[in-house]
Structure 1
Amino acid sequence: MSSFRSTPLFGGALIVDLPSTFADVRYIYPLKPHNSSSPRSSRSLPGQRWLHQHHLRHHRARGRAGSGPAVDGAALTTHLEDIVDSDVDTVKVWNTSNTQFSKLPEGIPAYTLIATQTPPPAPDSKSPDFTAIVLTLIRLERESTDILITINVPHIKGEYTEEEVDMQMGKQGKLIESSVEIAAKIWETF
């Protein structure tokens, strides 16, 4: 597992432990004001240990007012659709669960999903076979705000063991398992 460093976010309003190998993509990729970013554009940078890129974004709350499984689930789906933009038909959600954050007040709804996005075939040999998406949503209803934590995990042929990944059979492989461990550290320290 990676070494982590305490990282201030939003001008220090929030602090979370992130792997030291994660890049702050604000300085690499221009993000739109609503901060959506396509997972297929995520790439590892020279010197990064993993193919993970971390996006933590503040969003206007999505969906109807209130909270509960149906409302929150619809918000999670809407945010995922925003992230993958027009490629929504290439996305498959494999798992959705309630998420517990150690340092957030009790009762704040949080959810995590694991999905994959498969791009159309491309002649570029470094194009991913698919990108796994570990997406966590925190609903701050009183503030009319959603916080998204996204870890994109491109799976490029030759850089992962294909036999270890069969999402249909529940086999996530080492890259996805590592990203879930990183997400768990974020849930503990955010």
Structure 2
Amino acid sequence: MPRHTFQPTPLFGGALTVDLPTNFADVSKLRQVPDNQEVYIDKDGFTSIIVDITERVSSSSSDDPLERDAKALTTHLEELVGVEDAAETVQVWNTTETQISHLSEDIPAYTLIATQTHRQREGERQGAPDFTALILTLIRLKKEQTDILVTINVPHIKGEYDEEEIDLAMGKQGELIGDAVEYAARIWESFDVKDWGLFNEI
């Protein structure tokens, strides 16, 4: 039984649609968001969902498409978290091929679950997350020369989650990551492109 309710949400002027949780708010109503991004944030927590239209990463010279796509996924992850920090602070727990229900089966998509530990820097205020979980889905549109990234960021702030509930090495995700996995599954089922012309504009 799903714990959350969802609603169809138009993105980029209706060119894309996706079901998002009803308790998420459109950040662009509060502050400026880049034209190639849509950002939604949990009104009752700290989780955010970002849909990002980016230039396709032309990956390594490998002839194996899976290898090229895996490299592209790594490149996007490093850009998200910062290349310098990636090696030291990021742990990828799993990567899977993903089928986006409304898109053609020959459009590759991949999802990874990772955690980034937060390094307390000198002079930084307390209250920074212990770590942030990321569920990153990459949809590769070859013809459009576009990569679409859907990132669910799940900050874990001390006192706001049950530390004993989480042991990703043992498959224990805890409530916040469990919710994010449910959001991701609904996004894979509902994500649809209504206007392919969008990719010529951005």
Compute the TM-score of the two structures, normalised by the length of structure 1: 0.86
Of 44, 48, 57, 2:52 maps to 57
Percent of aligned positions that are identical = 52
1:164 aligns with 2:159: no
Greater gyration radius: 2
Q: Which residue of 2 aligns with 1:110?
A: 109
Q: Which residue of 1 aligns with 2:98?
A: 99
Compute the TM-score of the two structures, normalised by the length of structure 2: 0.81
Aligned-pair RMSD on alpha carbons?
2.4
Name the SS for the 1:187 alignment partner: helix
Instruction: Please tell me whether the aligned partners of residues 110 and 137 of structure 1 are also in contact (alpha carbons under 8 angstroms).
Output: yes
Q: Which residue of 2 aligns with 1:178?
A: 179
**Offset at 1:31?**
5.0
| Structure 1 residues 1-190: aligned runs within 5 Å | 1-28=3-30, 30=32, 48-64=43-59, 68-85=65-82, 86-88=84-86, 89-121=88-120, 124-190=125-191
Letter in structure 2 aligned against 1:152:
N
**Offset at 1:33?**
6.8
Q: Which moved more, 1:23-32 or 1:160-169?
A: 23-32
**Offset at 1:27?**
4.5
Task: Sort the Cα spacing of 1:179 and 1:3 in 2 relative to 1 into closer, same or farther, 3 A.
Answer: same
Letter in structure 2 aligned against 1:110:
A
Structure 2: which 5+ residue stretches go unaligned?
A: 192-202
C-alpha distance in structure 1 between counterparts of 2:30 and 2:76, whole Å: 22
Considering fraction of residues, name the structure with more strand. 2
